Chain A
Amino acid sequence: MKKNWLVAAALLLCIALLAGCGPKDEADESGDNVTLTVYNWGEYMDPDILTQFEEETGIHINYEVYPTNEEMYVKLSKGGTQYDLIFPSDYMVARLIAEDMLLPLDFEKIPNSQYTQERFLNMEYDPDNAYTIPYFWGTLGILYNTKLVTEPVDSWDILWDEEYAGQIIMLDSVRDSFVPALSLLGYPLNTTDQSELTQAQEMLMEQKPLVMAYVVDEMMDMMLGEEAAIALTWSGAAVSVMVESPDLAYSVPGEGSNFWVDCMVIPKTSRYVEEAHQFIDFLCRPDIALKNTEWVGYSTTHQDALDNLDAELTSMEAYNPPDEVLERCDVFLDLPAGTKEFMGELWTELKAE
């Protein structure tokens, strides 16, 4: 029977050890120093900026990363950690506003918000411009190799062109992949009409024999290695490979496309609203915005940063498209759950075919 004692003692010891871990964590939190918790996409902010902010203000920053809007949403909505600043995309902003999870921003505390390019104000997801300041943005379009594609690329049609059979890369992403088909059919990108979506899926079914692969990241290597001629992709990814190869070009087809904007917003659960405003203002300060833009490499929404960027970048239409490109593009809105589910089913059907 003494054996049981040993086991019990071992277990007790473990529990004591574990209990010892708990309070220590909380002690970290209860200090007088303000600790901002910033929740951002991976690789989406120059780490030097965090250090600089800490040095200038004495405010400590806890920096966490997330891979998708949806995963961020779960963590945010369930609590457990109070985030002070997050960077959701357009449609997720709309959802967070609809669910009353965001604080209206106090723009008087963010004087540097004056640098926001006007074309990103009063967007559909935040019509009164009350909750958001845009961060980075981009378009969805076609990346192609000019050695393999000699004709002008100005229509989504080319993704259905038999001539490029086996050399076309599509995105492994439900909503983005529907954009070419919906645009060609002339339906709105945010359609909830099931018959319109079904028609779009039928078009994608027709296209499938021509498609080399449905990928996300691998696209870059495939295009650089000239395994593929045409890829549906985002401008940010396109710019980063175009810098490496002069043969690649990018175009946003005339039928229209999607553009996305990631925003800075403060969730209602934030504990340090004042400091969160301070950090947003810091990020919008011209020198910081420029530094961050250079590090991240995506298209900036900051006018002053854009003006001072390397001309080599800003002259690229993929990086800095003219207003008329934006005018034919729409942002995604949050779709009703039923539509999302329906699209998911169509997509699974397509990929399983």
Chain B
Amino acid sequence: MVKKWIGRLYALGVFIFLYAPIAVLIAYSFNAGKSRGRWEGFTLKWYGTLFQNQQISSALYYTLLVAVLSATIATVIGVAAAIGLSQMKPRWQKAAMNVNYLPVLNPDIVTGIALMLFFVSVGVRLGFGTMLLAHIVFNIPYVILSVAPRLRKSSARLMEAAMDLGATPMQALWKVVLPEIFPGIMSGFLIAFTLSIDDFVISFFTTGSGVSNLSIEIYSMARRGVKPEINALSTLLFLTVLLLLIGINLLSKRGGKKKNGEGLAEQSLMV
């Protein structure tokens, strides 16, 4: 009993440690004063000025656009790559996974400058397209990393079994393999999405032509002090991601139940 309570207290402590800064940030987004040190009454004005600020609005637009596009494209490529990898001989698979790890471990600044030099050397003008490409590039390994273990867990022979039971390869892929690894795909997508929103270094070096994202805008404010509007903006972003997470959890829970039910039915049929 005591042990259980200690465990709970510990977990509570961890959660407070993780979420207190975000709680403070959210609270101060409603602070009437400009300072983060003093509370001067409740206001919504920072949310108002936020949407009047063209620079921030445009940055928000590009941030979300790049995040959605790069996460989606990286997920498609990453899932395809992971499925391909899982069919390889173990030795090659291991080699390929190691190559896949490299960009993850590579410092962002190296990736950023390398990509910039690459784009410049092939004569592409920096802008939205190059930033999107860069985001896709750094997102793919994370998608592969979150999908590959799922594929390993579900038996590698699952697809063959499905085809033995009469499924076409297409059916086997869409009805057996993909549903099986769906949670991995989803978490890969989410990781890619948040990494893309988060990224400053690579974005800074690969963008141009007036396209910038939120992290570039916010980081560039550092010299002048971060404005209170940014608290409001961060609050909105946090809530968006939170809602997204809750939604996906609900969805996958429902989906999971259905799948289990079907699985049981199939099993009993097979028996």
A-B interaction? yes
Contact present for B223 and A225 (CB under 8 Å): no
Main secondary structure on B side of the interface with A: helix
Distance, CA A79 to CA B77, complexed state (A): 30
Distance, CA A80 to CA B120, complexed state (A): 5
Contacts of A28 in B (CB 8 A): 127, 209
21 A-B residue pairings within 8 Å (CB atoms): A3-B173, A6-B173, A11-B77, A14-B80, A28-B127, A29-B125, A37-B210, A43-B223, A43-B224, A44-B224, A64-B211, A65-B212, A71-B204, A75-B116, A75-B204, A75-B205, A79-B120, A80-B126, A217-B226, A221-B37, A236-B224
Contact present for A216 and B126 (CB under 8 Å): no
The verdict on A81 contacting chain B, using a C-beta distance below 8 Å, is yes
Contacts of A41 in B (CB 8 A): 220, 223-224
Q: Annotate A36-63 by CB proximity to B: 1 below 8 A, 0 otherwise.
A: 0100011110010001000000000111
Supplied contacts A64-B208, A217-B226, A225-B38, 15 more A-B pairs, CB within 8 Å: A3-B87, A3-B169, A14-B76, A18-B136, A21-B128, A25-B127, A29-B125, A42-B217, A43-B223, A64-B210, A74-B205, A78-B117, A217-B222, A221-B35, A236-B224
Contacts of A66 in B (CB 8 A): 204, 220
Distance, CA A220 to CA B73, complexed state (A): 43
Tell me the nearest residue of chain A to B133, going by C-beta.
A18
The verdict on A26 contacting chain B, using a C-beta distance below 8 Å, is yes
Distance, CA A237 to CA B224, complexed state (A): 7
The verdict on B221 contacting chain A, using a C-beta distance below 8 Å, is yes
Interface positions, chain B 113-134, Cβ under 8 Å from A, are 113, 116-117, 119-120, 124-130, 132-133
Q: Annotate B171-186 by CB proximity to A: 1 below 8 A, 0 otherwise.
A: 0010000000000000
Contacts of B34 in A (CB 8 A): 244
Among A22, A47, A71, A224, the residue within 8 A (CB) of B38 is A224
Q: Annotate A210-225 by CB proximity to B: 1 below 8 A, 0 otherwise.
A: 0000001100111011
Q: Annotate B71-98 by CB proximity to A: 1 below 8 A, 0 otherwise.
A: 0010011001101100100000000000
The verdict on B106 contacting chain A, using a C-beta distance below 8 Å, is no
Distance, CA A35 to CA B211, complexed state (A): 13
With A63-B55, A67-B219 as known contacts, state yes or no: A6 contacts B169, CB within 8 Å. yes
The verdict on B14 contacting chain A, using a C-beta distance below 8 Å, is no
The verdict on B233 contacting chain A, using a C-beta distance below 8 Å, is no
Distance, CA A240 to CA B173, complexed state (A): 61
Contact present for A225 and B37 (CB under 8 Å): yes
Among A17, A22, A61, the residue within 8 A (CB) of B124 is A22
Nearest Cβ on chain B to A242's Cβ, whole angstroms: 13
Contacts of B136 in A (CB 8 A): 18
| Chain A contacts to B: CB under 8 angstroms | 2-4, 6-7, 10-11, 13-14, 17-18, 21-22, 24-26, 28-29, 35, 37, 41-44, 47, 51, 61-68, 71, 74-75, 78-81, 216-217, 220-222, 224-225, 236-237, 240, 244
Contacts of A4 in B (CB 8 A): 84
With A80-B208, A221-B37, A224-B38 as known contacts, state yes or no: A67 contacts B76, CB within 8 Å. no
Contacts of B54 in A (CB 8 A): 47, 51
Among B80, B113, B130, B220, the residue within 8 A (CB) of A42 is B220
Nearest Cβ on chain B to A12's Cβ, whole angstroms: 10
Contact present for A81 and B208 (CB under 8 Å): yes
Distance, CA A221 to CA B84, complexed state (A): 54
Main secondary structure on A side of the interface with B: helix
Contact present for B119 and A80 (CB under 8 Å): yes
Distance, CA A2 to CA B218, complexed state (A): 48
Among B36, B87, B116, the residue within 8 A (CB) of A78 is B116
The verdict on B53 contacting chain A, using a C-beta distance below 8 Å, is yes
The verdict on B170 contacting chain A, using a C-beta distance below 8 Å, is yes
With A6-B169, A10-B80, A221-B36 as known contacts, state yes or no: A22 contacts B129, CB within 8 Å. yes
The verdict on B151 contacting chain A, using a C-beta distance below 8 Å, is no
Contacts of A217 in B (CB 8 A): 222, 225-226
Tell me the nearest residue of chain B to A42, going by C-beta.
B220
Contacts of B223 in A (CB 8 A): 41-43, 67-68
Contacts of B84 in A (CB 8 A): 4, 7
Distance, CA A14 to CA B81, complexed state (A): 12
Contact present for A65 and B116 (CB under 8 Å): no
Which of B116, B209, B221 gathers the greatest number of chain A CB atoms within 10 Å?
B209
Distance, CA A10 to CA B78, complexed state (A): 11
With A43-B227, A217-B225 as known contacts, state yes or no: A81 contacts B126, CB within 8 Å. yes
Nearest Cβ on chain A to B135's Cβ, whole angstroms: 12
Q: Which 9 A-B pairs have the closest CB atoms?
A: A62-B210, A42-B220, A81-B208, A225-B37, A221-B37, A80-B126, A65-B220, A42-B221, A25-B129
Tell me the nearest residue of chain B to A75, going by C-beta.
B205
Interface positions, chain B 129-168, Cβ under 8 Å from A, are 129-130, 132-133, 136, 159
Among B87, B170, B220, B227, the residue within 8 A (CB) of A67 is B220
Tell me the nearest residue of chain A to B201, going by C-beta.
A71
Interface positions, chain B 211-266, Cβ under 8 Å from A, are 211-212, 216-227
Distance, CA A4 to CA B87, complexed state (A): 10
